Amino acid sequence: MPDNIIKRYEGNPILTPPDIPYAVETVHNAGVTKHDGKYIMLFRAHRATGRSILGLAVSDDGYHFTPQPQPFMLPATKGVFAEYEAFGVEDPRITFLDGEYLITYSAYSQHGVRIGLARTRDWQTVERVALISQADMRNVVIFPQKFDGRYVRLDRPHSEISPWAIWINYSPDLVYWGDSRIVMKPVQYHWDEMKIGPGAPPIRTARGWLHIYHGVFPTMDGSIYRLGVALHDLHDPAKIIGVCDRWILQPETACEVTGYVHNVVFTCGAVPENDGTLKLYWGGADKVMNVGTANLDELVDLCLHDGRPAL
């Protein structure tokens, strides 16, 4: 089994609060995609109020990012979105599908946390589509392909009865979602025993959809956020064909151990490259952005040969 599954880029962190041309306290949990040959990073940033906005940075190589002069998405000020985004917008994920980029994000308000869906084609303008969940829902990732004409997402509802787990939902139109089923649960006395949640939108490989998720373990010193990996069936994404038993990344470097929230690595995005590698992006301690590379085949092998039950 490889020791160093994710190879950290030696220039980490790649984006930090002083790099941003407007006032922010953190730069983390970014969705990342490619557009017109450039890498687009849509990051979450706390203001000094403790509430979050989304900012944009662009790169030619996936390592050196230039932030744009203004934030990309502030909480909405009118319409139905204003009511549900009053406490901020967080943790964006990006899926490219049918010529447009779908952005799912957590919308926080006095009514709880729910999921908003926005879209853009050019990263110049952005249009909000719908609020696609009720309260107590986070971490929605949409598959970059339809299945039998339907959109498919993984999500993470909250429940007092069962630990936070990963569910699947389907939609004919991106607005109305249903047919929900649980697909993966935390394992007791395991690194992800407290809760798990979708991380980066799933990546298509020849052997299945690779999903990098986060898992949380409670300790006397606070919770630890780590990343793990699971493989979903290519034709039926509700079927998990392997979950790697061990984590693939945990807080280790100074900027992952100490920051806004200690001991957190949290991903919202990964970019597959043509050479069979993956660029994985993660927030370090809710404060800065990091990147590392992995071999896609190696990650798939871990799910299939070093597995544990999904449910």
User: Can residue 256 be called a binding residue for ligand BMA (CB under 6 A)?
Assistant: no
Strands across the sheet containing 265-272: 7-8, 288-295, 277-284, 265-272
Asked whether 247 and 305 are in contact (CB, 8 A), the reply is no
Q: Which is nearer to ligand BMA, 47 or 207 (CB)?
A: 47
Residue 190: both structure tokens together: 């395991």
Tell me, what amino acid is at 66?
A: T
**196-225: which residues touch ligand BMA (CB under 6 A)?**
225
User: Can residue 84 be called a binding residue for ligand BMA (CB under 6 A)?
Assistant: no
**2-41: which residues touch ligand BMA (CB under 6 A)?**
29
User: Can residue 91 be called a binding residue for ligand BMA (CB under 6 A)?
Assistant: yes
From candidates 177, 217, 266, 282, binder to ligand BMA by CB under 6 A: 266
Residues that contact ligand BMA, how many (by CB under 6 A): 9
User: Can residue 143 be called a binding residue for ligand BMA (CB under 6 A)?
Assistant: no
Asked whether 105 and 90 are in contact (CB, 8 A), the reply is yes
Q: Which stretch binds ligand BMA (CB under 6 A): 120-128, 171-179, 260-268, 299-307?
A: 260-268
**279-308: which residues touch ligand BMA (CB under 6 A)?**
283, 286
User: Can residue 264 be called a binding residue for ligand BMA (CB under 6 A)?
Assistant: yes
State the burial class of residue 303 (Cβ atoms within 10 Å of its Cβ: 0-12, 13-18, 19+). Answer: buried
Q: Which is nearer to ligand BMA, 43 or 170 (CB)?
A: 43
User: Can residue 194 be called a binding residue for ligand BMA (CB under 6 A)?
Assistant: no
Q: Which is nearer to ligand BMA, 87 or 225 (CB)?
A: 225
- Planar angle of CA 115, 120, 123, nearest 5 degrees: 115
Residue 300 main-chain phi, psi, to 5 deg = -65, -45
Q: How far is the CB of 305 from ligand BMA (least distance, A)?
A: 30
Q: How many helices (H) and strands (E) does the chain have?
A: 3, 22
Q: Which is nearer to ligand BMA, 90 or 192 (CB)?
A: 90
Full 3-state SS string of 103-118: EEEEEEECCEEEEEEE
